[in-house]
Structure 1
């Protein structure tokens, strides 16, 4: 733990995955950033999130961190892409899902999803940002209070640990142009700016357990799976492996008193027999569906869990926080680097709030088809299933749970149509679902992905500022380039000479933002190229 610097361009409160991702995004644009984080080390007590989804892995690829995340993971992607439903881990199989969460390679995305506990993600991101020249990670400090005016933010930070020449409780002041509150569900930053959560808490009690069971993997016959959902008359829940040795996690759903129950009894009931298990940790919790009333106050922004909380079913929470970090990161950087206009930062909440609402709604739907609700009344007292009922049970599970395990429509298909920094078209955004992903280059959508060679993604060609993707070199783009020079808005032309690829992008010219979302598209360079660039970067434009 060192003495934090007293001035920076961006101060980030909270060094979890969201704060670290925001710092990495800011680093790509050369922004001086300080992160203050109370924890001096990352605890392995609770895995929390266990899925880094397709879109988050694409972000990490762009930040140069995807390979590091995969190397840190204990479960290789090719180990399993399946989820199994069974009467117990040692009991009968009821249903099986394949290619869950987008873990099979595909033309539709640049990176597959990765099963990895949050603590390993966080450790990897910490290592990554410590190598970044413009980022300072200061552990053992937390933000205590905030003041701001039109010129900047001043945060009082307090030392959380006694070490060397710094005493616990000592305070320092850090001045910054902007502050990002990435300090989680109990956010001090949220309290300081007067924002508050609105929503509900589910009354059902759940219990998370982490344990070691040396022979459990060899005892069951279901094969490798990222989840095993156990449905029986005594207990419902789901479980999985944290590594390929002996470490497991489980979540028991609907536990009457999670503080009184014996976790070893839960392990036995979910496994279907006595298990040689050593309980490492327990974690009682209830699902929360909360969204902050305001995620911005002047120069201060709430990001990730500080702004929204959703039930964990589907694995969307931490991944949505990383998406927030990328969005606010490139926008703050654009303003600080002089090419972002006065209205750009307003679009953080305008664009992300709809995403937060969708994630909360879909996660809640997933929660409502929890294990306890899937096959009520179908099992006899010995957890036996009538042979004639298997097909009906499997079909019911598929219908109720497909959104949880197959949600690329949500993860890749969300769009910022209607955003003030997206150039709308007369035609409406094509209909999109939450299960199946249907690629489109419609403005506001994520740029559809294509592989240009075995390991070369179209995303690898994009610049750090705006990118003008051109599929036909005959198209004159000089108006855009002249406008870029006039406005000092960074714009890089990206020529893609693949006719077979071009056909799937609907238009031969696409203006793409740093976050890989399409801001404008057309068949030729428009006469008002400067107006389009200015709009996309948050400058007021006269539409008359």
Structure 2
């Protein structure tokens, strides 16, 4: 018998692995996570939390704490205002030859965004450093029953038709323990030993170069005349980009040449010298707190699943940081996979549902990586325009799965040219403000644990049919009537979801539309049983 028996073993405790453990525990799945590092992250690699990802954090109760610990995002146009409050961060990406150009008004705007997401989401994006976000995720995951072990690494694993046998090791003591899990999820980063051991190949543009990230504390406000901004691309002989980490700390990402910048990754003095050159401030006084080198690449795994092993986050897609899509995309991988694993483990879905993880997330991961590549290359050239560039809200929230666990028209591109979240199956449910018991609630908030049928005002037949179909199939399904228990004060529900007053929308536990009937239908219970059977792969089970 194994030392540890668990439903899911997660390998890797960065943002993506912690999100996996958090969303699985939210679904009531027992999960054990191992991370070889001794603690959560210290360096900023991901601070921008998209509106869609904030929706996911809202569903597990973390949204208020994340906002309290982070900086307050405001529209990018505010970057021109000097001496702004320290907790304010305009969504402006600037370009300049040296840092003082920002204070002198000689910087140019590469991208200037708003905080609002075009009525696409009930949430606003947030800016919370990885060093602050990860401990919150650890705390909530463990509170929900997940076991999270730092200083513990995966030594080996083997899978069979019924599960995975693994060996883990305490990095301090060398003690080894055996684990028997039903499934293994690899969130073990760009180099992913799990992916490599499975022989899963990757494709893409490959390695672009290397980046040296320097976390430092310095008073730069006098140089920039107190102006706040999200990112500044410094386009000079020591090219790189500058992020604000928090009120007093910054991160500079230097495009790193190992020969030209020899010693900078191990010497704080050399790192400071590079920093002074890049910022154009030869007398800069700065406390260098951490230096880390990483690979800038564009690669997507050719498979996201191998038997009972799944890849999430950087293990299956890595791309340039431009746009801030990496961690957000990985956490959305985790959310997509979590409800499907929970459904299979609980017995109300067939194994075929797990195949839809790759069907859905792979094309979105590829398209997202391509968008990051476009942004990175055009910004490095000082030109933010490109004919294939997509709006950030389309990329983070308005994407559509070409294939997967839904019934309706399939195919097409995952990222359309314009933002259009309109109730089509394969997209996140449109955001509509409704009222329940006198309080505002978004359609996005209604589906977090179960399937949800949203029937329009005259769609009572669909509501009754859904209750009967869910009971017959033994799967969790909640029914709401818009015009019944939910009030549509603005009268926009049917308009935004593509329904008539007799229609209905079936939403998955992850908030994506699984099926839609614009109007009334014949034999609604039989139809819904068929639809639910196909979506959950129950129709393929004997």
Residue of structure 1 equivalent to 2:445: 460
* Farther off after superposition, 354-363 or 234-243: 234-243
Given the two structures, how large is their TM-score scaled by the length of structure 1? 0.85
Note if contact 1:107-1:451 (Cα within 8 Å) is conserved in structure 2: no
Q: Measure, in 1, the Cα distance between the counterparts of 2:388 and 2:132.
A: 28
- Cα deviations by residue, 1:43-90 (Å, 9 ceiling, x for unpaired): 41x2112212222111111122222222222x2224122223333221
Q: Measure, in 2, the Cα distance between the counterparts of 1:51 and 1:463.
A: 23
- Cα deviations by residue, 1:363-387 (Å, 9 ceiling, x for unpaired): 111121133x22xxxxxxxxxxxxx
Q: Measure, in 2, the Cα distance between the counterparts of 1:5 and 1:490.
A: 33
- CA pair 99-466 structure 1, distance change in 2 beyond 3 A: farther
Residue of structure 2 equivalent to 1:501: 493
Note if contact 1:443-1:519 (Cα within 8 Å) is conserved in structure 2: yes
1:476 to 461, 474, 479: 461
Note if contact 2:11-2:184 (Cα within 8 Å) is conserved in structure 1: yes
Residue of structure 1 equivalent to 2:59: 62
Q: Give the Å deviation of 1:402.
A: 11
- CA pair 451-474 structure 1, distance change in 2 beyond 3 A: closer
Q: Give the Å deviation of 1:202.
A: 3.1
Residue of structure 1 equivalent to 2:108: 95
Q: Measure, in 2, the Cα distance between the counterparts of 1:513 and 1:502.
A: 19
Residue of structure 1 equivalent to 2:14: 16
Secondary structure in 1 aligned to 2:434?
Answer: coil
Secondary structure in 1 aligned to 2:492?
Answer: helix
User: How many residues matched?
Assistant: 499
Q: How do 1:275-294 residues align onto structure 2 when only pairs under 5 Å count?
A: 275-294=284-303
Residue of structure 1 equivalent to 2:119: 107
Given the two structures, how large is their TM-score scaled by the length of structure 2? 0.85
Residue of structure 2 equivalent to 1:301: 310
- Cα deviations by residue, 1:383-409 (Å, 9 ceiling, x for unpaired): xxxxxxxxxxxxxx45259948x4111
Q: Give the Å deviation of 1:331.
A: 0.5
Residue of structure 2 equivalent to 1:442: 424
Q: Give the Å deviation of 1:515.
A: 1.1
* Farther off after superposition, 105-114 or 259-268: 259-268
Residue of structure 1 equivalent to 2:151: 140
Q: Measure, in 2, the Cα distance between the counterparts of 1:429 and 1:440.
A: 15
* Farther off after superposition, 469-478 or 451-460: 451-460
Secondary structure in 1 aligned to 2:221?
Answer: helix
2:91 to 76, 81, 84: 81
Q: Does 1:149 align with 2:144?
A: no
Secondary structure in 2 aligned to 1:476?
Answer: helix
Residue of structure 1 equivalent to 2:187: 182
User: Mind listing any 5+ residue stretches in structure 1 that lack a counterpart?
Assistant: 162-167, 375-396
* Farther off after superposition, 282-291 or 312-321: 282-291
Residue of structure 2 equivalent to 1:451: 433
Q: Measure, in 2, the Cα distance between the counterparts of 1:430 and 1:293.
A: 18
- CA pair 109-5 structure 1, distance change in 2 beyond 3 A: farther
Note if contact 1:54-1:113 (Cα within 8 Å) is conserved in structure 2: yes
Q: How do 1:30-429 residues align onto structure 2 when only pairs under 5 Å count?
A: 30-44=28-42, 46-73=43-70, 75-78=71-74, 79=88, 80-91=90-101, 92-96=105-109, 100=113, 103-104=115-116, 107-132=119-144, 134-161=145-172, 168-214=173-219, 216-221=220-225, 223-232=227-236, 234-244=237-247, 246-253=248-255, 255=257, 257-260=260-263, 262-273=270-281, 274-371=283-380, 373-374=381-382, 397-399=383-385, 403=389, 406-419=391-404, 421-425=405-409
Q: Give the Å deviation of 1:342.
A: 2.9
Secondary structure in 1 aligned to 2:354?
Answer: coil
- CA pair 192-533 structure 1, distance change in 2 beyond 3 A: same
Note if contact 1:213-1:276 (Cα within 8 Å) is conserved in structure 2: yes
- CA pair 431-330 structure 1, distance change in 2 beyond 3 A: closer
- Cα deviations by residue, 1:472-495 (Å, 9 ceiling, x for unpaired): 254312222211111102111123
Q: Measure, in 2, the Cα distance between the counterparts of 1:432 and 1:415.
A: 7
Note if contact 1:206-1:258 (Cα within 8 Å) is conserved in structure 2: no
User: Mind listing any 5+ residue stretches in structure 2 that lack a counterpart?
Assistant: 75-87, 265-269
- CA pair 269-495 structure 1, distance change in 2 beyond 3 A: farther
- Cα deviations by residue, 1:23-43 (Å, 9 ceiling, x for unpaired): 221122211111122223124
- CA pair 205-59 structure 1, distance change in 2 beyond 3 A: same
